[in-house]
Amino acid sequence: MFMRFEDLNIISSSEYQKVSLTCPNCNLLMTTGDKSYFDKYECCEACTIIFVHPNKEKWITGWRPPAEEINRMLKKKTLEPTYIMRGLKC
């Protein structure tokens, strides 16, 4: 699909807030579901659940998890299925 320049909308407003494409904490791609977490904690939903909630006071004061913890979380996340299987009987 090709797009013409006439079809592009350029937003130039001081009220427009840019959102990062990747989580500043773990570097995973952000999804539309991460927007509310990013607005509040400047990270994705997974980082909010795993790192922010248990360390909320430290997070607000600027603490961020060490690289080893982030790598552990990312490794665990790669083992999770990214799909839902329906109709299987166990």
Instruction: Give me the pLDDT at residue 88, please.
Output: 62
**Angle value at C-alpha 14, between 29 and 59, nearest 5 degrees:** 45
| CA dihedral (9, 14, 19, 24) positive or negative | positive
**CA-to-CA distance for 52 and 48, rounded, in angstroms?**
5
pLDDT for 3 beyond 70? no
**CA-to-CA distance for 43 and 63, rounded, in angstroms?**
13
Specify burial of residue 90 (Cβ count, 10 A radius: 0-12, 13-18, 19+).
exposed
Query: What are the domain boundaries of the chain?
Result: 19-78
Stretch 39-47: mean pLDDT: 93
